[in-house]
Structure formats: structure tokens, C-alpha cells
Structure 1
Amino acid sequence: MRSVVVTGASTGIGRELVAGLVRSRARVWATVRRTEDAESLRAEHGDAVEPVLMDVTDEASVRAAGERVGAAGPLDALVNNAGVALPGPLEHLPLDVLRRQLEVNLVGQLAVTQAMLPALRAGRERGRDVRIVMIGSIGGRIAGPMLGPYHAAKFGLVGLTGSLRAELAPWGIRVLLVEPGVIATPIWGRGAADGRAMAAGMSPQAQAHYGARMDAAVAGAARSAATGLPADRAAAAVLRALTERHPRPRRVVGRDALVVAAVVRLLPDRAVYRLAAHQAGRRRPAPS
């Protein structure tokens, strides 16, 4: 029976992935921040899931989770899924909002990986096929307006994943990146609420410069929450990354993500820059 840690398991991709792993007869350590989410997972899956209360931004809770998992035996896989999307124009963005985004979506991913690596190494020493899967985003390949902190974190996760892949390769620990497009998960609903709160608190000058764009970003987040790719489809792609004999190092998920990946790969940088500027509402091409 494989043993897998999934972070951010209360909703969305994480929740669906836990269900898929249980169906495949894995033992799942599911990290959540709230007791009620832990109780919900236990009620749904029984002893197949071991909920773990953990906040990826709290070093003590991450360390305690790593010790708890390691004490139970070797680990086969870690899925770093926890994440948030906090919108706002970079010119007026409170730096605490940027720090929060980077802590959850980037620094926290490394903290959890460090905490779980002793158990992952123990699994590898017993000849198991050990994997770490990072949940990135197509937003780690192209950046648009009003989600600068999110893009910064996801671009950073690409580099972090690449370095981890190279560093852990001598021990046969595979490090993989899954890059979904827009997924129908609560992250966008929460992002829309955060965006409305930030827009309401902006100065009159900021409102004049960015009010319409913030409104568009909030509306887009609401649409994403309702019409994005179902979370179980993204979870299925993560499950394939965990189980395929020869998994792809980077896996793009969703038709929109495939289109964006092709555009970024095929178009020159100047054209991609102009595309992003048009999305931001520019009336003239970006200067060359």
C-alpha cells in the first residue's frame, strides 16, 4: 500500500485527489488547516485517510507534521497542492499581500518538502518509486494583470521544482510539476472576495487607474470558480503523475493551458508581451 501526503486537501484539487488515491488503495495523509475539514475527510473516507492539521506558513506545524508522518514509516509520495490567489495592482499592492502569496505558494512548498524528505528518503532506501509532485499553474508560463503575486509565486515554483529535480536525481527521487489552467475550485471564489475588499480600500487615484481592471479581475475570478475545468479532471492528471511508469517532468492540464503553453512556446517574446498588455487594457502596443 502506497503512502502519500497531500497538502491543501480540504477543497478543490486536493480533496478530489484524496478521493482518487483512496480508490487506488493508497494510505493518504491529508493536510488541512481547520478541524472541521479534518472531521469531514475522516467521515468521508474512514481510516483510509489520516487528516493532519497543518499550515504551510507555520514552521512549527510543518515540522510536527513531518515528524508525525516519518514516525509512521516510509513515504512514497508528496503532493504540494496548497495555494491561494490574492489579486491586486502591483503599484498599490500592500507588501504583506505579496509576502502572504509567496509564503503559501512558494516558501511553504519547500518547507513541507524539507519536512517530508526524511520519510521520502526512507521509502527510496526500501526500493520504492518515490515522487514529489508540485501543483503549479499555466500562470507560471505567462503573466497577466492583477494577479502579479500569484504569477510571481508560480514562476518561482517552476525554478524551485527544477532545482529540486536536479538535486534529488542522484537518489532516484522524481520531482514533477503539474500545470493546470483555470480549475473550478474555491480558490477563485476566495480570490474574488479578496479582490473586492482590496478594491474598496484603494485610494481615489488607484481607483481611477485600476478600478475597472480590478472589477474585470474579480468578475474573471468568479467565472473561473464556476466554469473552469472540474477539479476531479485536474486531480486525475496528478494521479497519473504519481502512477505512470515514465511520468512527464512537466504536465499541462486543460485545453486553455495547452493553448497558452503553445502560444508561449511558438510566439516571440515581443508578441507575448503585447498579448499580455492587450489583456491589461492597453490602447497602444507596448513599446519595442
Structure 2
Amino acid sequence: MSRSVVVTGASTGIGRACVDQLVRAGFTVWASVRTDEDEAALHRDHPEAVRVLRLDLTDPTSIEAAGELVRAAGPLHGLVNNAGVALPGPLEYLPVDVFRRQIEVNLVGQLAVTQAMLPALRLSRERGEDARIVMIGSIGGRIAGPMLGPYHASKFGLVGLTDSLRAELAPSGIRVVLIEPGAVATPIWGRGTAAADDLAKTLPAGAERYAKQIAATRANAARSAAHGIPPARAAQAVVRTLTAPRPRPRRVVGPDATVAAALVRLLPYRLLYRLAAR
């Protein structure tokens, strides 16, 4: 009998790449999506090995319903908390509702899904089997720059959430791992730019003082979409984390993330902050 893994945000990017590689590795995958088109695509490509969950991280009812389905099916080997959004804008003028949504999806939603799936993960441990939780963070959880304050706040928060979960679940034998990719060529950058366009229409005149930083952030997003590592590379790290006998508790993925992590460790804060401001 194949082991099962839940992957959130499985329609595109890292999540979809995780589904594809986990199926090839012999897992049964519970893949969460939000649209009929995405569900149909998963059924078409993996008719036997994928079970689709309709899941909205801001909807407690849908999270609990997904948890009930997974729990009813038996033990769960792994949970990959991947779903997320990037909502950019200058913090001085950012509507608090936008900031709240960013935290709700990227941080609160991760905990809610984890709570819903933990009984099935515990069942795996009770049967003498493995159980692991993989959080998809970001190098943006180690170093923060302008115009992505909501995203950075959510990813810095995810580090703390992951570390506490790791400590709390250690006595139960449930491993908790944080994956920290750098730039990945996924649709999140295009969606983030679209969100920025919508926000720009509502910003007051004073927001013009941020024009240069906004332009630089847009250019960085375009470069990430075009030249970031392929989602499959991040997915490989996830699969290794779910299958390695002793996975590292934190794993940086991608050359830019490796460099940024080294700078955070080595540079004085004053210099690090000057670089980030640029």
C-alpha cells in the first residue's frame, strides 16, 4: 500500500511539481486546488494516484472538510504546506485588509491545515510508520526588502511557526522541516504584479515617493519569473525531505538563496540593511 501525502497549492508551480514527483516516487497524493480546471488537469494527468481536495486557506469550513476526508482514509505520511500568495505594496499606504489577507493565507492558513491533518499524521506514527510536515518558506523569511513587506512578514512568521511546531511535535516523532527556496519561476510573480497593479489604483498621491522602489520590485519579479530555478528543483528538495532517513530541519534551495543565507550569517546588520534597501 502506497504512502499518502497532502500537498496544498497543487495547481501550479512548486505544488504541482511536488505532485508530479511524488506520484513518480510511488506516493498517493492528496492535492489541494481551488478551480474545476485545476481539478480536471490533475485527474487527467494522474487518474489513479491523485485525490483532489478543494481547499481555500481562508475558509475554515473547507479546511475542516479536507481534514475529514484525509482522516477518514487512514494514516498520512506527509503534509506539504505550499499554498501561498505575494501581495506587494508600500507599508505606509497598504490597506490593512490586504496585509491581513497576506498573513491569513501564508501563516494562519498553514497552521489551520496542519491542525486539520495532524490526527492522520499521528495515526501513521501510532502504526509505527513515519510522519513529516514540510513547510514551504522562502529566503524572504531570512532577509527583507522594500515593497514586499506583507510577504516577508508572513515568511518570517512561518519560520517561528515551524520552529515551534518542530519542538512541540518532536516527542511524538513527527518531523517538521522548513524548505527555503530563492527565486522560482512560478506564476506567483505574475499574480503578485497583478495584485500590485490593482493596489496602485487605490494608492494616494503621496505613494509616488515610492515609485523607484516599486519599479525595482517589478523588475525583480520579472527576472524571477523568467530566470528563477524551475519548480521541479524545489520539488526535488521536498521529495528528499519526505524520504530521507534524517532530513535536515532547514534546507535552502537555489543559488540566490544560498548566497543570501550566507550574507545574513556573515554581514553586519548595518551593511545587510543597506543592501536590502537597494
Give the Å deviation of 1:56: 1.0
Give the Å deviation of 1:47: 1.6
Give the Å deviation of 1:275: 1.6
Q: How high is the sequence identity, in percent, across the aligned residues?
A: 68
Matches within 5 A, 1:93-172: 93-172=94-173
**Is 1:259 aligned to 2:265, yes or no?**
no
Q: Which amino acid aligns with 2:205?
A: P
Give the Å deviation of 1:196: 2.0
* Partners of 2:212 and 2:143 in 1: CA distance: 22
Give the Å deviation of 1:222: 2.0
Runs of 4+ in 1 over 6 A off after TM superposition: none
Deviation per residue, 1:203-251 (Å, 9 max, x gap): 22112x1122212212221221121111111111111111111100000
SS of 2:256's equivalent in the other structure is: helix
| More displaced 10-residue stretch of structure 1: 192-201 or 68-77 | 192-201
**Is 1:92 aligned to 2:100, yes or no?**
no
What is the aligned partner in structure 2 of residue 243 from structure 1?
A: 243
SS of 1:184's equivalent in the other structure is: coil
What is the aligned partner in structure 2 of residue 221 from structure 1?
A: 221
Q: Which amino acid aligns with 2:133?
A: I
Q: Which amino acid aligns with 1:139?
A: G
Deviation per residue, 1:141-161 (Å, 9 max, x gap): 000000000000000000000
**Structure 2 residues without counterparts, runs of 5 or longer:** none
**Structure 1 residues without counterparts, runs of 5 or longer:** 280-288
| More displaced 10-residue stretch of structure 1: 223-232 or 157-166 | 223-232
SS of 1:21's equivalent in the other structure is: helix
What is the aligned partner in structure 1 of residue 231 from structure 2?
A: 231
TM-score, normalization: structure 2? Answer: 0.98
> What is the alpha-carbon root mean square deviation over aligned residues?
0.9
* Partners of 1:84 and 1:241 in 2: CA distance: 23
SS of 2:18's equivalent in the other structure is: helix
TM-score, normalization: structure 1? Answer: 0.95
| 1:75–1:119 CA contact under 8 A, matched in 2 | yes
What is the aligned partner in structure 2 of residue 47 from structure 1?
A: 48
How many residues align? The count is 277
What is the aligned partner in structure 1 of residue 204 from structure 2?
A: 203
